Structure 1
Amino acid sequence: MSSDLDQLADMGFDREKAQMALKKGGNLPSAIDWLDKNADKSMEDLKADEGEEESALPQAGASANSMVCNDCGKRFRNMTAAQAHAERTGHDDFAESNEEIAPLTEEEKKAQLELAKQRMMERKAKQADEDKAAAKRNDEIKRKHTKESEDAKEDLKKKEQIKEAQQKKKEKADDIAAKKRIKDKIEADKAERKRKADEEKAMRANPAAYDPQGAGSAAAPGGAGAALASAQAAKPKATHSEARLRLQTPGGNVMKNFPAETTLFEVAHALQEESGVQASTFTQNFPKKVFDQGDFGMTLKEAGLVPSAALIVQ
């Protein structure tokens, strides 16, 4: 028949720890309870605890052969077994006894061993249920935190999309307003040029209406020669009606002819339509001039680009 120590070793317990358990419990079931309770402790910790317990035991108890629980009448071989009973049942009234407890029979040992195994399995099952419940709670907390994090990210993404849409809307409105200002300036410049052209045409058709003193002097002796000289002096100088431009783009040079009254905005539009190049500025190296979008309402003649010019498109 194998010993209690061999049975504990066969159950997978460390022999040194099992030996200490038998010493403290006094029997196989109590030893199993003790081993299960102290499963997480090392031998160093258990030996330290044993030293503290021995120093704390009263000297009078050294002569006792057993302990008895006054609450339920159960007897125990030693103080350690009584303490285990107290922790398990909550009983706290114990007394020393000189009565020696008879050794357990093999049948009693087997019965207590089965009972101890059953208790140990119940404790393990209970601990497994508690661990499962704790894992479930942790999973729920984790899912909650994950959902909150995802909701926060989604909310931030929506805010960024709204902000981006508002920015694009503002940029579009600014672009429309800028184009309208350029168009209004072009229309105003055209109207001013037409007014000046109509005025010059009227002056050429009826010079006397704009210079009555000169017309009267033409009737006086010698006035014909003076009128002829005045007419020749008033004759407009020869003007160029066309501008030849060399436009340097990122894709190469583009040569084009435009009427002198063409605006820089119209040049940029034609360049984009034909070459796909979007011009934001025109730069003339000599003399050094930079025409930005605020200048696009100027005609080529007003910009000094007639009869020819070389421009860098950017």
Structure 2
Amino acid sequence: MPDVILTVMEMGFSRERAELAVAKTGSQDMQAIMEWLLSHEEDTDAGHEGGFQEPNPLSLVEQPEQNSSESTQNQAPKSIRCDDCGKLFKSNQEVEFHASKSGHENFSESTEEKKPLTEEEKKEQLAKIEAKLKQRRLEREQREKEEALLREKARIRSGKELLEAKKKQDELEMKKIIEQRKRAKEEERLARQRVKEQIEQDKLARKAKFSGSPMPEPSQTQPISVRPVENKPPSNCTEVRLQIRLTDGKTLTQNFGLKEPLSAVKLFIEINRTDEKAPFKLITSYPKRVFSEEDYDKPLESLGLAPSATLNVLKS
């Protein structure tokens, strides 16, 4: 059933009257439908079922004179009266609607005809209906605003949670990088210390050899372990300075430890890049080299990037 017919029925009109008004006006506009209903209270639908039947015109033909009491008793009913509030109704549908809304239960047939509304009553009734429709519209708009506000709050809350999760992940990754750098620097410091001690021991040994004095006992130092590397950097190199060219032409510059893996450089680019966030590969211009997935686990000193190099970011 169309919403406009339901709305008209909620105003106290029967379904047949509502359908008739919609058919007569040929419109879905509530104001036009209500004006027609209030202006054509006597119009009824020919196919009306279940409603209160109009009196038979033959019953109005003059009959032989009877006493006034019998005439009143035999007079055909013209309406239905609510014994609880005194209102008159034309059809059973109107009675059922009134009973459902008011809770009244006592009704009886009445010979009193329900009078049509005056122009002032029609205007007053129409004004009440318009006020009720306006109130419903305002309530619906308020409800829609509240629902939209709840959806927006949920969206903001979800966005904040995602940002917080990403922030924590970034902090964990940065903490891992810092720890790796600290470990690399500590390893380099210990390696330099061992080299210095070894050099000092060699000096004392040579001095004792040429002077003829007994050689000093070697200090209890750990043996220097030298890891074979590719493209060995200069001996005095402790850091790798990288210049990184992004896809938008901008450049990032950062120093990394010799033993930091290439994956640390990739993570640094992901956090600080200003171009579009998309998967990428790292390459060198000269000699040209595209780093594979296996290269990201290798330290920078073994990839020929020390003491400095330029990396290009290439979309994958």
TM-score band, normalised by the shorter chain?
0.3 to 0.5
Whose Rg is larger? 1
Scaled by the length of structure 2, the TM-score of the pair is 0.44
Q: Which has the larger helix fraction?
A: 1
TM-score, structure 1 as length reference: 0.44
